[in-house]
Structure 1
Amino acid sequence: MSEVNLNVMLIGKTQISQKFAEKLAAEAKREVVEDIAEEKEAQAIALTAIRTCYSANKPTEIVVKEGDKYFGRSATDGEVGTEADRLIRHIMRSKHTSTIEHLTYNFAVEGLSRSALSQLTRHRFFSFSVQSQRYVKFGSDDRTGGFDYVMPPSVLGTPNSFLSKQLFKRAMKNAQESYDKLRERGVPAEDARFVLPNAAACNIVMTGNLRAILDFYSKRKKGRGAQWEIADLADQIRAEVIEADPWTEQFFEEV
């Protein structure tokens, strides 16, 4: 049993398929293929979705036939980036955000409290796979070595923080001892878990599309009244998406 900190890592995201990449390599201008390599792949998918709504071209033709216009020219709205950036900005600001639901991101979330998990699952259009307290055993002698827990920073911000911290840690220890004793008496793990606290940490694989992620961030970012832990989660998710797709940063700033 130990205190843990939240950690979020992007483990996957939407990319163009090998078949589509081969089509682009064979039919699109070399400059277009180079422009969308790696960090612009998500933009190419977004462009395909957006222009499908307005173009006479087929979805598989849009980047091939229109890619030079959008990726090869500077933005005409006076802002940064290319015409692809301008088009996505226009779509975002006009609230036609269904077109960015095609971009998905997969995260490993480690060390989130069950308290924050209950807040997280209120958000729709995310998919979750959560570490089970039924099938994973959290006894002191089990492989986990007991349950890990999250301590709120406010515990250390009290007038006598040392005593507050000791009180909190004692509550965690008591919960662990109760869990262990129930297991020793033959209570199955799925029922012994009822004594585990909201502070108990869990691991999650979480997937969301860009629209859902931006909506989540707008409601849970710091300064919007969100509790500290889920605000930290929102910040870490934002950082992971921006690192993978730098062009998304402006949209996090605007929500």
Structure 2
Amino acid sequence: MPKLFVLARPSFTDEFATFLAEENEVWRFAGGSAAERLVEFAGRICYMSFGRRQSPKRNSEYIGNLIRQGHESVLEHVSWTFLLSDVTRSFTHQLVRHRAGFSFSQLSQQYHDESDARSIVPEGLDDIPGATEVFERAVNASREAYRQILAKLASEPDQSKESLRAIRSAARSVLLNATETKIVITANARAIRHFLDVRGAIDGDVEMRRVAKLIYDVLIEDAPALVADFVEEKLSDGTPRIVKIRQLTS
């Protein structure tokens, strides 16, 4: 199963109070975590809607209205940094296609020796008679080929850093997409919402849906108003999917 570690969360300092005092303004905020208050504050700055110009909405209502109106740029001010492990290269090939609002740092097969790298058996493979055995043979064959190529190329006299990089680059070409990897991800709330929308309910990609659920769970805990228009459902096999409700109610 994929594992998610939260390395950094949004914060909101008291500097906003200094600014408001200089402007002779008062912000009567009601509810909200640090991430949610930062989103609301950024939204109110656009209109300086503080004091008498402030609507009586609670934080969750204010953010819900932003989302309903499609004014999600202010959600880009809050971001999370995650470490994902126990995921496949196949998964990360898809994940890194999300560029706007995302940053990635992944384990390099050019610098890391993958001789003992694990391979992750795709979910549901054991439901197909004989498929797991075929998979295991492919894993063993690719790992052995990797080791042999590495051993042959490593016997070359040039052992510089770039030479070793080239050796591992050649050897990694035989590794499977099922090879386990680790990746650090930083993403803002708007980008995460888009990821959940387009990836959270893909019936044919269990690994992607499991990761979407892990990220969704973090935002539900840290800033539920930012994902209030998403719900978790279960497929018939018990695996999760994250579904967007197309219209938030007021």
What is the 5 A alignment of 1:1-255? 5-17=1-13, 19-20=15-16, 40-55=33-48, 65=51, 75=57, 82=58, 84-125=59-100, 126-139=102-115, 146-158=116-128, 160=129, 163-187=130-154, 188-222=167-201, 224-225=202-203, 227-253=205-231, 254=245
Please report the RMSD computed on the Cα atoms of aligned residues, expressed in angstroms.
Answer: 2.8
Deviations 1:181-223 (A, max 9, x none): 111112522221111111011100001111110111011112x
SS in 1 for 2:230: helix
Gaps of 5+ in 1: 57-61, 76-81, 140-145
Cα 1:91–1:30 change in 2 (3 A) is closer
Q: Which runs of 4+ in 1 moved over 4 A?
A: 18-25, 27-32
CA shift, 1:169, in A, is: 1.2
1:30 is displaced (CA, Å) by 11
Q: What is the distance in 2 between the residues matched to 1:197 and 1:20?
A: 50
Distance 1:43 1:28, change over 3 A: farther
Higher helix share: 1
Give the secondary structure class of the aligned counterpart of 1:127. strand
Distance of 1:241 and 1:104 partners within structure 2: 10
CA distance in 2, matches of 1:91, 1:131: 37
Amino acid at match of 2:68: R
Cα distance in 1 for residues equivalent to 2:13 and 2:39 = 14
Structure 2 gap segments, 5+ residues each: 155-166, 232-244
* In 2, Cα distance between equivalents of 1:172 and 1:18: 54
Separation (CA, whole Å) in 2 of partners of 1:55 and 1:19: 16
Quote the Cα distance in structure 2 between the aligned partners of 1:21 and 1:29. 8
Q: Is the contact made by 1:10 and 1:241 (CA closer than 8 Å) also made in structure 2?
A: no
- TM-score, normalised on structure 1? 0.76
May I ask how many residue pairs the two structures share in their alignment? Answer: 219
